[in-house]
Amino acid sequence: MCCLSSAAIAANTPIEHTAPPYWWANMQHPDLQVMLHGKNIAHYQVKLSSVDVQLKSVTTLDNPNYVFIDLDISQAKAQKFDFVFSQNGKKQFSHSYELKQRQTPAPQGLSPADVIYLLMPDRFANGNPKNDVVSTMQETWLQRDSLIARHGGDLQGIIDHLDYLDNLGITALWLNPVLTNDQPKWSYHGYAATDHYQIDPRFGDIELYRNLSQKAHQKGIKMVKDVIFNHVGDQHWFIKDLPSATWIHQFPKFTKTTYMTSTLMDPYASQHDKSVLLDGWFDKHMPDLNQHNQYVQNYLIQNCIWWTEVAQLDAFRLDTYAYSDPDFLVLWSERLTKEYPTLGLFGETWVQGEPIQAYFHGNTNIHKNFNATMHGLTDFQLYYAINAALNENFGWETGVSRLYYTLVKDYLYTDATHNVTFLDNHDLSRYYSVIGEDIEKYKIGMGFLLTMRGIPCIYYGTEILMKNFANPDGLVRLDFAGGWQGDSANKFEAKGRTPQEQTAFAFVQQLLQWRQNKTVIHSGKLMQFIPEKGVYTYFRYNDKETIMVMLNPSNEAVSIATDKFVERTQNYQKATDILTQQTFDLSKSITVPAKGILIMELR
């Protein structure tokens, strides 16, 4: 929802929406395009009251309820000015606009030194029960035992538990989308925006979002915003009153995307298949935005810049990255990188196969027609591999061999160290369930995640063994117990966890806190060895330190001779496991426990 500002009401303006609502002086990009929406405003002439803001053009499209005003702000100072609307030379009304003074520090970006925590705001913690239901919105159904209804989690709940994340060892926070989703149902997940410039009031407001960012930064936790360019909710105000027929992709009858991203690099693909992939709708209630439309392009790009300034963001995660128009993605990344050279960017690539995933990586050499300078990708290929390692018997291409072969293909990326790695997320079955609720296998996967190359991401509750399979999705998006008043147990505290949950939490916390100061894990090189007897061994090393990791998912202990590792161990005599403090003689064989992992500092 969006209401008229007090200034708009005072001026008796018909303007209902202004995008962006305000802007800043001294931006890198000299141009600003303001989209105004109001009844028949295209029938007026527009002038400015400012001296140093230059009016370049005023454009109208199919719908008379929109005007697009292009401004040159290269010489403009921070100020308030008016858009003056007139007919036949007589002023009819004015609409106030503001260029603010920039105060936002440079984004911190993301690096392999970070550990991201992904959470779904509606399901994490309810800090303000008063905003659980907003009567003016379409969905007023609150029911915690429903998988599809709102549960009441909000931004205040996240603020209230920043200490929990800090103590765990988290350095970056990724929220599933928090923009207004004023849909009649299924609005809790946030992926069907109905207003790009408002926080959903059931989560809070812009000031509270800014407050969350400030408090997170005070604790050394970076802010990652989840953005969706491919689609919006069908109740979005500009969908209900389309600026033009080409604002979205439209077909004679409903056409859903194929989800087959391989079409983009298929040398034999039909144009029909490419069109349906990129232009088909994600779902019936999620219209597909047309990023070929220059006004859609500006709208989306400026929105990202606006939120970066407003909320001091450090990075963006781009949802359904592969379904957006490739040319637009290049333009978007160029504009944001120019404005914020240190801003982190990573895209969701839920695809099959390393070559398909690597296609979307920035600055890669495997293709010439698409380079969105994307820093990293969600590394689904490594996710598939660790699942195979923990659930398949060892073989030439199975079990831990999948880890080896997956990492072999890192040559496809310019820099795989900025890929975001994970064991589960909001769309996938919970890690603990996938491995058969085996606490020892749990430790192997978590140990691998936090010592392997990449930027690790932990899905909320994985650290306390939350479980379930994604059938339906709501089962992997349950509430974090203790986040609501009256919960029978509080998993945010040790006394509220079961012994097994506390074992998992303590294990993850130990690894995270150890990892925080380990430059060798953050930026050290990686060397892997061909798996032997079902044991996978790799090293993280730099000029000052070497870490040796051995993992064995099998049901039997395995002894591995150390002579083949001499190129990494020749300067060392002993290896001490950081988890148990057990010390091994590197001149002798090392026995890796059944369903065990050794993370050893070489001395």
- The correct CATH number of 6-100 out of 2.60.40.10, 3.40.1260.10, 3.40.30.10, 1.10.10.10 is 2.60.40.10
Q: What angle do CA 594, 597, 601 make, to 5 degrees?
A: 140
Same fold, 6-100 and 525-602: yes
Spatial separation of the C-alpha atoms in residues 89 and 244, rounded to whole Å: 28
Where exactly are the structural domains of the chain?
6-100, 116-517, 525-602
Spatial separation of the C-alpha atoms in residues 45 and 27, rounded to whole Å: 27
Asked if 384 and 459 touch (Cβ cutoff 8 Å), the reply is no
Give the model's pLDDT for residue 166.
98
Residues 6+ apart with CB under 8 A from 250: none
Spatial separation of the C-alpha atoms in residues 351 and 193, rounded to whole Å: 24
> For 480-593, where are the alpha helices, taking DSSP H only?
499-515, 519-523, 566-569
Beta bridge partners of 175: 119, 225
Mean pLDDT of each 10-residue bin along the chain, 603 residues long: 37 88 96 98 97 97 98 97 95 96 92 98 98 97 96 98 98 98 96 98 98 98 98 98 98 95 92 94 96 98 98 97 92 95 96 91 69 87 98 97 98 94 98 98 98 98 98 97 97 98 98 97 98 98 97 98 96 97 97 98 96
Spatial separation of the C-alpha atoms in residues 115 and 452, rounded to whole Å: 12
Beta bridge partners of 87: 90
Transcribe 62-115 into DSSP letters. Answer: SSTTEEEEEEE-TTPPSEEEEEEEEETTEEEEEEEEEEEPP-PPPP----TT--
CATH topology for 525-602 is: Immunoglobulin-like (2.60.40)
Reference 452, options 516, 397, 505, 528; nearest CA is 528
Q: How far is CA 340 from CA 27, 292, 306, 309, in A?
A: 10, 24, 12, 10
Give the model's pLDDT for residue 459.
98
Asked if 70 and 31 touch (Cβ cutoff 8 Å), the reply is yes
Spatial separation of the C-alpha atoms in residues 161 and 121, rounded to whole Å: 12
Helix (H) or strand (E) holding 382: helix 380-391
| Positions marked active-site | 319, 348
pTM: predicted TM-score of the whole model, two decimal places? 0.96
Spatial separation of the C-alpha atoms in residues 372 and 375, rounded to whole Å: 9
Residue range 116-517, CATH number: 3.20.20.80
Three-class SS of residue 261? helix
Pairing of strands 31-38, 45-48: unpaired
Reference 370, options 332, 338, 330; nearest CA is 330
